[in-house]
Structure 1
Amino acid sequence: EEVKETASVLSVHDNSIKVTEVLKDGDTLTFIIVSQKLSGTGEYHVDRTYEDFEWLQQHLFSQGDVPGIQGVIVSTCYSLMYLLAGFLALGECQPYCKALETFLQQVAAHSILSKNKAVEVFLTSSDPPGRQKVKKNIFNRLSQAVEEMRKEGHKDVDEFFQNERDHNLVLTGCTKTAAEKFLDVVATEQKIAVACGHFSTALHLCVEPGEDPDKQAFSRVCVKLSEVFESIKKNMTSVAENNVNTLGLGLDLESRYQEAEREMLFRRTCKLVELENARRNVEKAKPVKKAMEEVKKAAETEFEHTSGVAKQEVKSTINNCIPHFDVSFHSELVC
């Protein structure tokens, strides 16, 4: 079902959007989203899955006739979902509910993206939009991948954007790797905590009743060791939780921002290629030069709009949207 993009106004307060909880049913994650109606008469309660977020992501840039839309930076949800699945297995979901909540609030507050009808449908419709069948064509994906490889190395005419592309290329790989490695560290900490809990329980099973002094002495040792490992378990669990809520969330946010900026810069590069092709066609065309001039002028206008929005997005996001995380840790093991 196609979504028509019109200049609509959201019927919810953007800062009232909350992801209150996440439910896990096998491999399916369901997020409960609550938002306050602008009319003040109540709230919208909707449940959304990964497919729904994917649907929203696909439609955010479908407003092809909106000037500058290709220059907007929107943090992607895809990498977040993979990390989220890992943290849910560890019992950590609140930080990522907050991350999705921030993502939705930023989209709803954006002057361009909030006009997309898909945002209103996502936040208010009781029907699950993403669970409709999305048209997917393997040949389209292959041709798109080839096109991306061809345009990825296209030299930019603007030094600002060329430097930003070079900088982003390095940071994208580094931040993604750092986030994944840090997730491995947190997972290991959780495993250590679980192992300490199991060992603490096993030591309790070694306690034997009776009057034998040797058995009583051995039982006392087992009880004391059990308490020690239970303390280690609690401490390690606290360390893992603190790591997730500080550096873990910060790395994931930075990783997703770099991915989103990379996609925006690529879209702008595509517009640059279109503009250069239009200029070449004008030079080659003789009988139809007037028509080619109009195509070139339209491409120039669209490229200028995209570049203007892109430059503003890069500067404003760096200055205002990336929070500073307190990355101090408390990792003492109390025995």
Structure 2
Amino acid sequence: MEGSNAETELGVSVGSIRITDVTQDGDLLTFAITSQKLNGSAGVCVFRTYDDFDWLQQSLFSQENLPGLQGIIFPPLPSKAFPSQSNTQTKTLKQLGFLALGQDWQSYCKALEFYLQQVAAHPTLCKSKALDSFLVNSESPGKQRGKKGIFNRLSQAVEEMRKESHKDVDNFFQNERNKNTNVASLSKVATEKLLDVVMTEQKLALACGHFSTSLHLCVNQDDADAVAFSKICLKLSDIIEAVKRNFEKVASNNLSTLGLGLDLESRYQEAEKEMLFRRTCKLIELETVKKNTEKAKANKREVMEAFQKAAEKEFNQISSVAKQEIERFHSSRVNVLQNFLIGWCEQQLNTAKEFAELYSQHLEACRNMYSD
């Protein structure tokens, strides 16, 4: 879209951005995105597909005239979902993790909602005209493909893995790279382990459902002993059904709170890793330019020195932006993960209280059966 890289003030409230609905047509998911305008009480509702989200991300990447762009930690856009695939398939779970679970793509919608809110809350990215257009224009922007830009050309350099081990000239960034490598790995493992827990809880809930149903097959009214046994089976079926609902609720809590938090944390760690790698690539380019300048002949030295000066200026801008981004990243990520953890504890505590009371009722009912 022409002029999509121009800066503008975001016309909607960041906190009001919500994905309120999703419709599915074959492999196509369409998301209803609502927000509230700042200059009045009017609300806005637009409909976007994943291609539109991808257009927005590419538009943010392609702001080539923005100083220090490559030092920005871009909010990570979740991978594209393919609704025709079963959510239990290994490929889909590997691709989307927690976002493939839940009913009616609720977790996936929440992740996209977080993405939009993080972009809108970013002090630089929120000024992109592309974001404002995405949120308020009724026409789908995805039909007008964004430029790949210098960002993607640098991303292709990921193939040169040797650059990842290149020693940094700044201890701040070298330490951050080392820390990011460890935290990114741990975040990924923690996310995968919790995903295993949630899937196990779902399987246990399913097994309890089958067991509860099977107990009804034992009901027999032929004689007094059979009637007594049938009562026990029915009561046990009720108890197993309660256990089933407990597993479902606990799994749902894990998914909607800590699961989404760990998924977001893991993807953000990868986003920081990509930023640090882009800066490392620029560092290597600068070092190459310096070497070429030193080797340059007298008649070309002036041109090479000017080129080196420009490269140094660009690298310093990227490093300056990157330091600010890292400080903001650590502060915001701690707060976000803390909120997810608090929500997780509150939901699981409420669930525990709810089912403890229900189990007490079932226990009392069993005592009454044997006292009669």
TM bucket (normalised to shorter chain) is 0.7 to 0.9
1:202 is displaced (CA, Å) by 2.9
Partner of 2:89: none
**Structure that is richer in helix per residue:** 2
Equivalent of residue 276 in structure 1, options 282, 287, 291: 287
Aligned partners of 1:309, 1:278: CA distance in 2, in Å?
22
Partner of 1:260: 271
Aligned partners of 1:216, 1:131: CA distance in 2, in Å?
68
Aligned partners of 1:153, 1:40: CA distance in 2, in Å?
52
AA of the residue aligned to 2:188: K
AA of the residue aligned to 1:117: K
Q: Find the residue that maps to 1:31 and give its secondary structure.
A: strand
1:296 is displaced (CA, Å) by 1.4
Equivalent of residue 259 in structure 2, options 234, 248, 252: 248
Deviates more, 1:105-114 or 1:262-271: 105-114
Aligned partners of 2:246, 2:197: CA distance in 1, in Å?
15
- Structure 1 pair 26–180 and aligned structure 2 pair: CA distance change class (3 A): farther
- Structure 1 pair 86–202 and aligned structure 2 pair: CA distance change class (3 A): same
Equivalent of residue 128 in structure 1, options 137, 140, 155: 140
1:304 is displaced (CA, Å) by 1.0
Equivalent of residue 213 in structure 2, options 192, 195, 201: 201
Give runs of aligned pairs for residues 282-297 of structure 1, distance below 5 A: 282-285=293-296, 286-297=298-309
1:49 is displaced (CA, Å) by 3.0
Partner of 1:235: 246
- Structure 1 pair 181–128 and aligned structure 2 pair: CA distance change class (3 A): farther
Partner of 1:47: 47
Percent identity reads 54
Q: Find the residue that maps to 2:32 and give its secondary structure.
A: strand
1:308 is displaced (CA, Å) by 1.0
Aligned partners of 1:218, 1:27: CA distance in 2, in Å?
50
1:33 is displaced (CA, Å) by 1.1
- Structure 1 pair 132–213 and aligned structure 2 pair: CA distance change class (3 A): farther
- Structure 1 pair 194–54 and aligned structure 2 pair: CA distance change class (3 A): same
- Structure 1 pair 181–22 and aligned structure 2 pair: CA distance change class (3 A): farther
Partner of 1:218: 229
- Structure 1 pair 143–58 and aligned structure 2 pair: CA distance change class (3 A): closer
| 8 A Cα contact 1:80 1:252, kept in partner | no
Deviates more, 1:258-267 or 1:141-150: 141-150
Aligned partners of 1:14, 1:155: CA distance in 2, in Å?
39
Partner of 1:65: 65
Aligned partners of 1:133, 1:305: CA distance in 2, in Å?
28
| 8 A Cα contact 2:70 2:318, kept in partner | yes
Partner of 1:83: 97
> What whole-Å deviation, never above 9, does each CA across 1:77-115 have from its counterpart, x for those lacking one?
235961354213xx3855554443333122123222123
Q: Find the residue that maps to 1:111 and give its secondary structure.
A: coil
Gaps of 5+ in 1: none
- Structure 1 pair 147–319 and aligned structure 2 pair: CA distance change class (3 A): same
| 8 A Cα contact 1:107 1:114, kept in partner | yes
> What whole-Å deviation, never above 9, does each CA across 1:136-171 have from its counterpart, x for those lacking one?
9xxx99992564413222211101101111111122
Q: Find the residue that maps to 1:78 and give its secondary structure.
A: coil
Q: Output the TM-score relative to the length of structure 2.
A: 0.78
Q: Find the residue that maps to 2:101 and give its secondary structure.
A: helix
Q: Output the TM-score relative to the length of structure 1.
A: 0.86
Aligned partners of 1:43, 1:291: CA distance in 2, in Å?
55
Q: Find the residue that maps to 1:157 and give its secondary structure.
A: coil
Alignment RMSD: 3.0
AA of the residue aligned to 2:8: S
Aligned partners of 2:154, 2:280: CA distance in 1, in Å?
19
Partner of 1:14: 14
| 8 A Cα contact 1:55 1:129, kept in partner | yes
AA of the residue aligned to 1:107: V
- Structure 1 pair 131–64 and aligned structure 2 pair: CA distance change class (3 A): same
Aligned partners of 1:12, 1:246: CA distance in 2, in Å?
26
Partner of 1:184: 196
1:251 is displaced (CA, Å) by 1.5
AA of the residue aligned to 1:83: G
Gaps of 5+ in 2: 82-95, 363-372
1:3 is displaced (CA, Å) by 6.2
Partner of 1:109: 121
1:17 is displaced (CA, Å) by 1.2
Deviates more, 1:143-152 or 1:270-279: 143-152
> What whole-Å deviation, never above 9, does each CA across 1:166-206 have from its counterpart, x for those lacking one?
11112212211221221121011112112212322232244
Aligned partners of 1:101, 1:262: CA distance in 2, in Å?
23
Q: Find the residue that maps to 2:299 and give its secondary structure.
A: coil
- Structure 1 pair 272–190 and aligned structure 2 pair: CA distance change class (3 A): same
